[in-house]
């Protein structure tokens, strides 16, 4: 779905008021539930004696029954007392459902890279309305992770990594890119361009700052209860973590992993990661002890194709491995990076029992639930009931483009130039659609 198609469905009443984010392609925003209160509107509501004299328990109940953002905004305009009862806005129903982050207009789509400007669009999947958002804190940042609780992990071309809550307007700085394992140095070259020297499969290569922003952090997730951010990083896609509460924040490598990870997610309070060959690992060891966390092999998959993208998705309390099968990448070809089909395998059932994926015992499924829709994309993947997203079809996978996988030859000695070409003339950005699991039908 394009930004121009969405713009026609924009809610004029709310467009000027919500706080938020952006991106060139669709980005997935998980259900935001911040604890911090923040006034979202500059308009001062009128004071009305009768409205301010309602019993507090009744006043507190009203916003909990409101299903749409527009109605919540109208409720907050009645008077100051009602407005306070509606705060924090994001704790109520309209914000407890996934939103898609999209460009607000085509004018805000950069021709190169995936950095945001300060004007973003939030598309409410349940009401099909687009909300305009002004968020200076995200300008020149790329979203590399959308986390539970509404937090976004972002990185800019100067190497700053931050946690950003778009509704609470709260920013938490993490250790910078230069602190990531594998980054050797950062300096201005003879052309006064900021560049990084990074390790790459035993050698050292030089990467421009805009390429570092686009490619060096592949995926980020946060475990809120532990305050730990986990990233897939580097040209060989290793795992590292940073504790938000540490005064001297730093990135620490997860022991035992040899790289080539495709995805990382949280399942039952633990980090799970999958490699490009389908092998699934769990991160063990506490983050609040002196012991360094390490990866433990969970289960493997025999099939390994370079043009398969792996996702780990929790649906109905179970963990699924999704293979996104695409045309083999041929830069310059019109169909390069196009999705052909999805293959779905169940990994862990409701009782936590491992289901073998090795032949002949691996379990392929074509059914997750008639009332369950799955969303996969660059910065997050999740499942929701169709009652929360009524225009989405159950037992279907909705996907956004993640063209970064077009950079497949990371071991090339000229990787710096290759990455810069992909930033300037990227493959993809058109691979958006839905996959019907039962009918095996793909729609754009």
**Which strand (E) or helix (H) includes residue 105?**
none
pLDDT band for position 425 (cuts 50, 70, 90): low
> Distance of CA 69 to CAs 85, 90, 186, Å?
15, 10, 45
Of 136-140, 170-174, 231-235, 394-398, where does mean pLDDT reach its minimum?
136-140
**CA 93 – CA 430 distance, rounded (Å):** 32
Q: Report, as an integer, the average pLDDT of 223-239.
A: 92
Beta bridge partners of 132: 121
What was the pLDDT predicted at 16? Answer: 32
- 4 vs 123, which has greater pLDDT? 123
What was the pLDDT predicted at 281? Answer: 94
pLDDT band for position 366 (cuts 50, 70, 90): confident
> Distance of CA 395 to CAs 67, 126, 298, 444, Å?
24, 17, 26, 16
- Residue closest to 241 by CA, chosen among 290, 170, 174, 319: 174
**CA 224 – CA 253 distance, rounded (Å):** 19
> Tokens for 48?
């009305």
Q: Report, as an integer, the average pLDDT of 210-232.
A: 91
Beta bridge partners of 324: 309, 342
Helix%, strand%, coil% for the chain, nearest 5: 15, 35, 50
Q: Check pLDDT > 50 for residue 8.
A: no
What was the pLDDT predicted at 436? Answer: 92
> Tokens for 186?
């950062």
Q: Check pLDDT > 90 for residue 295.
A: yes
What was the pLDDT predicted at 39? Answer: 37
What was the pLDDT predicted at 301? Answer: 73
pLDDT band for position 24 (cuts 50, 70, 90): very low
The predicted-structure confidence for 137-159, as pLDDT tens digits, reads as follows 988 899 999 887 778 999 998 99
- Peptide bond between residue 240 and the one before it cis (omega within 30 degrees of 0): no
CA 396 to chain centre: 19
- Torsion of the alpha carbons at 65, 71, 73 and 74, rounded to the nearest 10: -110
Q: Where are the domains of the chain?
A: 1-140
Q: Check pLDDT > 80 for residue 296.
A: yes
Q: Which segments of 95-167 does DSSP mark as H helices, in order?
A: none
> Distance of CA 338 to CAs 5, 327, 400, Å?
21, 6, 11
Q: Check pLDDT > 90 for residue 179.
A: yes
CA 91 to chain centre: 20
- Residue closest to 141 by CA, chosen among 173, 168, 167: 173
Residue 370 CB partners (closer than 8 Å, separation 6+): 394, 395
Question: At residue 80, what are phi and psi to the nearest 5 degrees?
Answer: -65, -35
Q: Report, as an integer, the average pLDDT of 407-420.
A: 54
What whole-number percentage of the chain has pLDDT above 90?
Answer: 27
Select, from the ranges 55-69, 274-288, 338-352, 397-411, the one with the highest average predicted confidence (pLDDT): 274-288
Q: Is 38 exposed, middle or buried (0-12, 13-18, 19+ CB in 10 A)?
A: middle
**Which strand (E) or helix (H) includes residue 230?**
strand 228-233
**CA 406 – CA 190 distance, rounded (Å):** 30
Q: Report, as an integer, the average pLDDT of 65-94.
A: 74
| Average pLDDT, rounded, for the chain | 76
**CA 382 – CA 414 distance, rounded (Å):** 36
């Amino acid at each position: 779905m394009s930004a121009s198609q969405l713009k026609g469905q924009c809610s004029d009443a709310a467009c000027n008021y919500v706080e938020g984010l952006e991106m060139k392609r669709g980005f997935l925003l998980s259900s935001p539930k911040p604890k911090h209160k923040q006034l979202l509107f500059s308009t001062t509501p009128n004071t009305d004696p009768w409205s301010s004299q309602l019993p507090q328990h009744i006043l507190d109940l009203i916003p909990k029954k409101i299903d749409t953002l527009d109605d919540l905004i109208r409720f907050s305009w009645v008077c100051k007392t009602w407005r306070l009862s509606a705060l924090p806005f994001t704790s109520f129903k309209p914000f407890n459902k996934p939103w898609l982050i999209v460009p607000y207009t085509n004018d805000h789509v950069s021709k190169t890279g995936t950095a945001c400007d300060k004007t973003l669009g939030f598309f409410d999947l349940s009401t099909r309305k687009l909300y305009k958002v002004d968020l200076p804190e995200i300008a020149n940042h790329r979203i590399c992770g959308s986390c539970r609780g509404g937090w976004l992990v972002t990185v800019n071309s100067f190497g700053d990594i931050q946690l950003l809550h778009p509704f609470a307007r709260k920013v938490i700085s993490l250790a910078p890119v230069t602190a990531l394992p594998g980054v050797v140095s950062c300096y201005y070259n003879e052309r006064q361009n900021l560049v990084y020297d990074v390790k790459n499969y035993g050698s050292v290569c030089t990467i421009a700052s805009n390429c570092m922003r686009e490619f060096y952090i592949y995926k980020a997730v946060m475990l809120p209860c532990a305050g730990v951010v986990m990233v897939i990083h580097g040209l060989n896609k290793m795992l590292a973590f940073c504790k938000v509460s540490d005064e001297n924040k730093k990135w620490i490598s997860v022991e035992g992993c040899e790289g080539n990870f495709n995805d990382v997610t949280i399942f039952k309070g633990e980090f799970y990661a999958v490699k490009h060959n389908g092998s699934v690992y769990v991160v063990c060891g506490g983050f609040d002890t002196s012991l360094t966390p390490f990866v433990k092999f969970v289960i493997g998959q025999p099939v390994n194709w370079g043009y398969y993208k792996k996702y780990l998705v929790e649906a109905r309390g179970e963990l699924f491995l999704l293979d996104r099968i695409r045309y083999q990448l041929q830069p310059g070809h019109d169909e390069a990076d196009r999705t052909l089909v999805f293959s779905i395998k169940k990994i862990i059932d409701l009782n936590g029992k491992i289901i073998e994926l090795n032949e002949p015992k691996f379990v392929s499924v074509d059914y997750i639930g008639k009332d369950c829709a799955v969303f996969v994309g660059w910065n997050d993947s999740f499942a929701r009931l169709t009652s929360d997203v009524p225009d989405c079809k159950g037992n279907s996978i909705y996907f956004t483009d993640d063209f970064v996988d077009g950079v497949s030859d990371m071991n090339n000695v000229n990787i710096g130039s290759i990455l810069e070409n992909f930033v300037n003339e990227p493959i993809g950005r058109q691979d958006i659609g839905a996959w019907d699991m039962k009918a095996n039908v793909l729609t754009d």
